[in-house]
Amino acid sequence: MKQYGVIAVSSILSAIIAVFIYRVFEEPREILIRDSQPAKYTAYSDDPLNSSRERLFLSSAPTNFTAAAEAVTPAVVNIRTIQGGNFDLWGSNNSLSSSSGSGVIISPDGYIVTNNHVIEEGDDIEVTLNDKREFEAKVIGTDPSTDMALIKIKGNNLPYLIFGNSDSLRVGEWVLAVGSPFDLESTVTAGIVSAKARNIDILEGQDRIESFIQTDAAVNPGNSGGALVNTNGELIGINTAIITRSGRYEGYSFAVPANLVRKVIKDLRDYGVVQRGIMGVYIDEITNRTAKELGLPSVEGVLITRISPGGSAEDAGIEKNDVIISINGVKTRTLPEMQELLGRYRPGNLLQVEYLRKGKPYKVEIILKDKTNGVASISSTEEAILRTLGFELRNLTKEEKKRMQVDGVKVISIYRGSKIERTNMDPGFIITNLDNRRIGSVKELIRELEEASGKVMLEGIYEHYPGSYYYAFPID
């Protein structure tokens, strides 16, 4: 037995000595563990606005500011707008002024995205590239509701940025802001994502969408319209605003998310106007009090406070006090998140909506409509006709047609100082005929207006007043 014990002890000591010698003389080796799942991309096409990168969190590591800066700066431009004044008797212009901002080239043929407030007052727009080349730009379209604008210069094989996936951004992730603060072109600053889906109440209009990416990257006057990029050099936002008491940077800057920017800009390019899908609801934030009253499991979601007659939500059976918690599988924890998400869809798009009613979950499909209660997109030309005349219209709902026994188009608002206002027409007027031709939809009315000349006559009714009413106005 002693012999076996000696052999066992000898074997253990030999093993220990061998391991020690191996650790001393063997070079250390680095073991890399890689995920076997490849990075995923959407299908690339020749259209940069149809191409985006959907990889998640890849930009977080490694953090390489220099590579990202080198890739981005050639595609970020300086924009100078010139506002002309009135000429006096001597031919001089005493009120000529200018302002400047930034922009991002998003296609090799010269499409540039910027903020609406950068170019809205400009009579002439001058664009200076990173390599000092100068171009005159023309406005393709603007969207005050998101403070976005699309302009274009004549060029070929220009440097441009690829849209990244702003949904994949994480709070704490490094980002770079690139622009022309104080006319200092190609300025790069770094910071982290401080918050997402931030509403700071700076935009105007009923259709405004505020769901900003908040960062602490230094942004100053002149940065507006410039690029917010991740460390892969992908465009994940357009720098738009700062919160400041001094008028200069104090640590709070805000950018419009790239996923929303891409949709808005593509609409401006293809239609000249943004095609907004309307759910037909009035919404509000969930508070701790309302969460308790409605029996919600958490203080999250978007509260439905009112339903628009004939809208998409009413058609789908959604009711007042329902709480929307997701759209197409994406959580809608706050009102800005839901607004941003809906802002990416057009009339006619089908959405999978999950909501809570008295604490119980439900799912429903909703087909988005436009302002006219239709599902077809309205072109910029068609919208311009209505805007020039001075009114907003929508199709009658099924309930309204049945209740009033009439087919037609309802006037929902009238612009001050317009041709329509001068006819003394009131909102709520239901147009049934144009020059004795029956009108069944907004599309039909626009088509008739396009073909009309001289003076036209609109005939219709008011729901709570007897008889027919007539309004004439010149179309030219």
Q: 146: burial class by Cβ within 10 Å (0-12, 13-18, 19+)?
A: buried
Q: In the beta sheet, which residues pair with residue 125? A: 81, 137
Query: How many C-beta neighbours within 10 Å does residue 283 have?
Result: 18
Contact assessment for residue 435 and residue 459, using Cβ atoms and an 8 Å cutoff: no
Catalytic residue flag (residue 117): yes
Query: How many C-beta neighbours within 10 Å does residue 403 have?
Result: 11
Q: Which of 117, 180, 211, 380 is catalytic?
A: 117
Closest CA to 323 of 349, 271, 359: 359
Contact assessment for residue 461 and residue 414, using Cβ atoms and an 8 Å cutoff: no
The shares of helix, strand and coil residues in the chain, as percent rounded to the nearest 5, are 25, 35, 45
DSSP track, 127-156: EE-TTS-EEEEEEEEEETTTTEEEEE---S
**Half-sphere exposure (CA, 13 Å, Cβ side) for 215?**
32
Place of tokens 């609409």: 267
DSSP track, 338-352: HHHHHTT--TT-EEE
What lies within 8 Å, CB to CB, of 283 at 6+ separation is 302, 303, 304, 305, 324, 335, 338
Q: Which of 143, 145, 147, 441 is catalytic?
A: 147
Catalytic residue flag (residue 131): no
Report how far apart, in Å, the C-alpha atoms of 170 and of each of 60, 196, 213, 330 are.
9, 8, 10, 15
Catalytic residue flag (residue 216): no
Q: Which of 168, 224, 326, 441 is catalytic?
A: 224
Q: Which residues are catalytic?
A: 117, 147, 224
